[in-house]
C-alpha cells in the first residue's frame, strides 16, 4: 500500500520509485494498492506533501496508474464511477495505455485467483 505522503515533496502514489525500486530492483510481482481515498487526497492536497495540485480527478488517476498503483481503495465520494470515467478518458487521451491497465488487472487477478476469491473460466475449446 502506498500513500499520499511524500518523499522529497512527491506523493508516494505518484512516485516512479514504485516501478524502479519496488518492481524492478526488488522484483515485487504483487499489486500496489492505494491508501484509502488517495484519488481525492492527491487531487486536493497542498503543501507540504506536494507542490502540484490537479484540476480534475482524471489527472490524478492517470498519474497514479502510470506510477504503478494498480488498485484504488475508494471512498463514497463518487468512488468507482469517478475512477471508471477517469480510466476511459485516460485511454481516449492516451495518458494511460491499455497495456498498463491490463498489467494492473492481471496483477490484481493473479492474487485473487491465488487466494481462491476469483476463478478462471475458460471458453476456449
Grid coordinates representing 23 are 518492481
Residue 100 binned pLDDT confidence (cut-offs 50, 70, 90): very high
The average confidence (pLDDT) of the chain is 81
What average pLDDT does the segment 102-121 reach?
90
Write the Ramachandran bin of 45: left for phi over 0, alpha for psi from -120 to 50, otherwise beta: beta
Q: What's the predicted TM-score (pTM) here?
A: 0.79
pLDDT of residue 106: 94
pLDDT of residue 72: 86
The domain locations on the chain are 6-115
State yes or no: pLDDT of 110 exceeds 70. yes
Residue 47 has what pLDDT? 46
Higher pLDDT, 85 or 10: 85
Burial class (CB in 10 A: 0-12, 13-18, 19+), 75: middle
- pLDDT, tens digit (0-9, with 9 covering 90-100), for 15-58: 888 888 888 999 998 889 988 877 777 766 654 455 555 556 67
Amino acid at each position: 500500500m502506498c500513500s499520499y505522503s511524500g518523499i522529497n515533496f512527491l506523493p508516494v502514489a505518484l512516485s516512479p520509485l514504485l516501478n524502479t525500486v519496488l518492481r524492478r530492483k526488488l522484483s515485487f510481482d504483487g499489486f500496489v494498492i492505494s491508501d484509502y481515498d488517495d484519488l481525492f487526497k492527491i487531487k486536493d492536497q497542498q503543501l507540504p506533501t506536494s507542490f502540484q495540485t490537479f484540476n480534475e480527478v482524471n489527472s490524478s488517476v492517470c498519474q497514479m496508474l502510470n506510477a504503478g498503483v494498480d488498485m484504488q481503495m475508494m471512498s463514497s465520494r463518487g468512488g468507482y464511477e469517478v475512477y471508471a470515467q477517469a480510466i476511459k478518458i485516460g485511454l481516449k487521451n492516451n495518458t494511460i495505455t491499455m497495456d498498463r491497465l491490463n498489467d494492473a488487472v492481471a496483477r490484481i487477478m493473479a492474487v485473487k485467483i491465488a487466494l481462491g476469491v476469483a476463478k478462471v473460466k475458460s471458453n476456449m475449446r
